[in-house]
Chain A
Amino acid sequence: MQWETVIGLEVHLQLATRSKIFSGSPTTFGAAPNTQASAVDLAMPGMLPVLNAEAVRFAVMFGLGIGAEIGRRSVFDRKNYFYPDLPKGYQISQFEAPIVGRGSFEIQLEDGSTRSIGITRAHLEEDAGKSLHEDFHGQTGIDLNRAGTPLLEIVSEPDLRNAAEAVAYLKALHSLVTYLGISDGNMAEGSMRCDINLSLRPVGSDTLGTRAEIKNVNSFRFVEKAIRHEVERQADILEDGGKIVQETRLYDADLDETRPMRSKEVANDYRYFPEPDLLPVVIDEAYIEEIRASLPELPVQKRHRFIEQYGLSAYDANVMADSRELADYFEAVAGSCGDAKIAANWVQVELLGQLNKGELALADCPVPAADLGGLIARILDNSISGKIAKQVFEAMWQGEGSADEIIAARGLKQVSDSGALETMVEEVIAANAGQVEQYLAADADRRKKLIGFFVGQVMKLSKGQANPQMVNELLAKKLV
């Protein structure tokens, strides 16, 4: 049977607030264990939560970013369960009345096509601490630095159909939240963690199959792998006439498999009820409008603008709009050289190539956008060829100066002096009598191919600096 995969994702997004959601402790990653846990985070007797206004603002920004309804009166609830890294014995979350309601946003697939993915809801909650099972001689260590870190749990509709779409969704989400500046989106540090709900159904069916939930997958690559494995596992069971058990599974990146979590790790009844220590969060129109007015241009809008304004392909527009920093960089390059398409090409191939090679962030890029624009301008005015430009870019990357400085210092300026070129052309013709004979004997089609040899020889002689168009013209004139 042909199966259709149905995937919904729950993403726990760590919000980039300076302090925790219910206490004044800092949220900095990587501090020594338990140095960023206050009496509130430790759930000392009599301590009370106070809601961080910035967390609310970030959640509303997200809601507006996906065109969602904002909960005008959202309520915090207690989610009760016992675990040593959950100091209060309950997590403060939102259950019946989340701050962000239904919305949607557009994702772009590899082939350039777009899809709209529904968001069911997003709610604010606090993170738990960490249990450390190593180095404690059979006991468990508890680090409560992370306890109380603000999270936005973003729940998608079951709109995704395969691993590639799931990854595209996560990338688009990552792009959106970093544009908004509400999260650093750093998956390696746990700023974006993903639970995958996945089920299969016969192609054509419109009822959902029984799903399994895969918890806490923390990289794009693992999401892709976990989905592939889970699809295979479920398909095998269904093909054999078996039934999927609704359960929570864990993706083990080391063994590259999913397996059921121990039943102890799965609480059954969280006894949700409204948190009596906090008032409902009441949001008015003026607050929403103030935030709406302050929103930056978002990735989808930017992508569409790049296509319309600069004539970029959907694919290029998507790459350029991926992050706010890259988009700004691209626009600065395009502005200074005057040709957006070539700018996009250079940013995509050369710049991102160098960054990836050096594992650098754009912020660490040694070549300012104006300088890259200056280099491209030299290609456009025929001062250098594209090939030489790559050498110049390499030198710029090494900090040797601007394009003009490097071109001058290395004498790379394209030779367009017809006298000098003519001398070189004649030299090549004289040195390759055999090839000249072949050329002259060939028909027009074949000549087009053979002329490349002579161009190559001239370029070699000129150390790549000859103006290729002029060389072509001269050769055509001389080879008669």
Chain B
Amino acid sequence: MTGKLNLDPAVVAQARELARLAGQPVTDLARTHTTVSVERAMLRLAGLDGADEDGMPWVNRLTDAIRETTGLEHGVALPAWDAMIAGGYPDLRTLAVDAAAGLAKFRLPMGADAGLAREHATRSVGAGVALIDQRRAERDRMIAATCDPPMPWIYLIVATGDIYEDIPQAQAAAREGADIIAVIRSTGQSLLDYVPEGATREGYAGTYATRENFRLMRAALDDVSRELGRYVRLTNYASGLCMPEIAALAGLERLDMMLNDCMYGIIFRDINPVRTFIDQRFSRQVHARAGIVINTGEDNYLTTADAVDAAHTVVVSQLLNEYFGREAGLADAQLGLGHAFEINPEVPDSFLLELAHAQLIRELFPDAPLKYMPPTKHMTGNVFAGYLLDAFFNLAGVMTDQSILLIGMMTEGIHTPFLSDRDLALENVRYVRRAAGKLGGSFRPEPDGFVAQRARQVLGEATGLLRTIGSQGLLNAIAAGTFGVTRRPADGGRGLDGVVERAPGYFNPAADMMEADQ
């Protein structure tokens, strides 16, 4: 797309460079540290599944046992495979059972023993990575056999808490026109330091992300994709304390998109910043390999801060997400950068401001599948006014060529959507697409008019903030409350005890394979 806003390419390049400078030290941190969840993700790729009778996964049991004996500085792979070979264990699961009972012996192998452990570990993890590659090829085949719907893709949410209720709802939504189904997770899953197992039927305002739930839903959407002759994508959340593991499970079960933000867990869930950045890098490497599109969470800033005053913080976060994403090997086409239509409708020219923000982001990230979120903050109980606001959101979406439209519900904030709410919402977006789908081509804001000036102003503020962040350091900026409204110090929050600095000789075959990709 050619520019409509007269953005100065030098300013854009400078903004990207500032984001890189701000992000680089954090990347260095991620390269030199590991976390319990990164180690567990490696074990999951090596095929260790299942949980003990209390529901605690074997990957947790094995990682904890190794941590208590040899520590995690060298990774779990060397001690785990060494113990497997020395103890004659047939598989990781049998080893994990013994480890949990205190019966397995772990040591850090040296010399030839280390070489052997390394070789076995690499082979096992390689099989998991090969399965991710197969899933990616399977997706390509499914798309070829059905079809890839044109953008903007329509994104709808299901969230019953019961996977067996979610499935018919998701299939119905796909038949009604959804291109993407997102299964909302159970409230608070992001704070669990383990991934629950099996098909689940009870959740709080959402359904647990488990490997089996992923498999069931993907299979159901494959059925409906074939029925409709259109590939229906599946989305879940690689966020929270188990981000790397959930990314691995998503790759193994062919999910198509994952919510995966560089700072969301820090700001909104008080997860330790260092833990988040390390976990995020590994999870993005897995997503890159699996061909998964990430969705970032900038829309959330606007639910806490004012959407006009804080517009530039969205751009700053997007530039950081882009830097971290590319650094981890994601292609631009895998960067579903998020933003939202959240300006108070009482503000004069609010629609022009929304257009300015949406067009700015479109032009800054021309090849990214941008994810545009509907109004939530200013949806009142007046469902009629809400329906109108959603139509304006849809209009801004088609005018500025957004890629993924999360469909707004007129009953937002009142109750979980009725069947009819969803149907009316789809009728709304279908009308706007039919009536104004080509309006973007004719939308030419005056070069120095309100829209173009506002866009340039937001970009300028973003550059200024990035400069401040660069001079402070990103972790200090987060600690000072730069994003959202919350201060999150680098030594606070949940999960810091799961962060370990890598020792010389640290070995993680999964990390090595992902790193070699880049």
Binding between chains A and B: no
Q: Which residues of A line the B interface, CB within 8 A? A: none
Q: Which residues of B line the A interface, CB within 8 A? A: none
